[in-house]
Amino acid sequence: MQPKKILVIASHPDDEVLGCGGTIARYADQGTRVDVAFLADGVFSRDKNYHDAQDELIIRRNAAQLACDLLGVKTISFGDFPDNRMDSVDLLDVTIAVEKLIREYEPDTIFTHHGGDVNIDHQITHRAVVTACRPQNPNRVKTILCFEVASSTEWQFTGSAPSFNPNWFIDISQTWLKKKAALNCYAAEMRTWPHPRSIQAVEHLARWRGATIGVDAAEGFILGRQIL
């Protein structure tokens, strides 16, 4: 089923490209409206003074705009929950913010984080989306898919949290180069090989997910819910 309106709910700028950049580009190319919402500021937990952090925030938001433009995203929005400290905020407050986004964008499909990621913000974002999308009328969200983020999802210990075993794959053979270009917009966030958040590692993952289903490149997801 072709989604009509997709909302990607991510914790930080660059999560959207790492997790589902090729999928965003594929659906945007097919005419589906895709919006992206970031919940956390993404920089203020770092060892910087306030003014340097403000400068970095501007740089990262500009990078997000460039990356999302390349992928064909319609609009992006930025939240201000504390970076790597979203567990210091009541889950209800995060859930209310997500509910507001759903009312504003009215998506039928949501892409968001996997609940077993090692990054606490990813975990909280996942929980807030699950709570905001509980099945009650009116319920516009029909499909919820959870993506993996290199250097977070695979770093969780086995048995410490649910493992990421994808059961939903999207062929990004034709949009991998767009994902790669979007990742290059986040050059300051990328690392050198063999770090899992290097361009090479992200490509290896896309090729492996593709090989899993017999195509050149793919992104893997876990289906949270689908209502037909």
Structure tokens at 162: 């649910």
pLDDT of residue 41: 78
Whether residue 6 has pLDDT greater than 60: yes
Model pTM? 0.95
Residue 95 — pLDDT band, cuts 50, 70, 90? very high
Per residue in 34-69, pLDDT (tens digit) is: 999 999 976 655 555 555 668 888 889 999 999 999
Whether residue 150 has pLDDT greater than 80: yes
User: What's the CATH class of domain 5-226?
Assistant: alpha beta
Per residue in 196-228, pLDDT (tens digit) is: 999 999 999 999 999 999 999 999 999 999 998
Kindly state the percentage of the chain with pLDDT values over 90. 87
pLDDT of residue 5: 98
Where do the DSSP E strands lie in the chain? Answer: 5-10, 33-40, 75-81, 109-113, 143-147, 168-171, 218-226
Structure tokens at 25: 């580009």
Please, are residues 73 and 36 in contact by the beta-carbon 8 Å criterion? yes
Q: Render 179-216 in DSSP notation, one character per residue.
A: HHHHHHHTTTT---TTSTTSHHHHHHHHHHHHHHHTSS
Please, are residues 201 and 51 in contact by the beta-carbon 8 Å criterion? no
Q: What is the mean pLDDT of residues 75-99?
A: 96
**Domain boundaries of the chain, sorted by first residue:** 5-226
- What residues contact residue 198 under an 8 Å CB cut-off, 6+ apart? 190, 191, 192
Q: What count of other Cβ atoms lies within 10 Å of the Cβ of residue 66?
A: 15
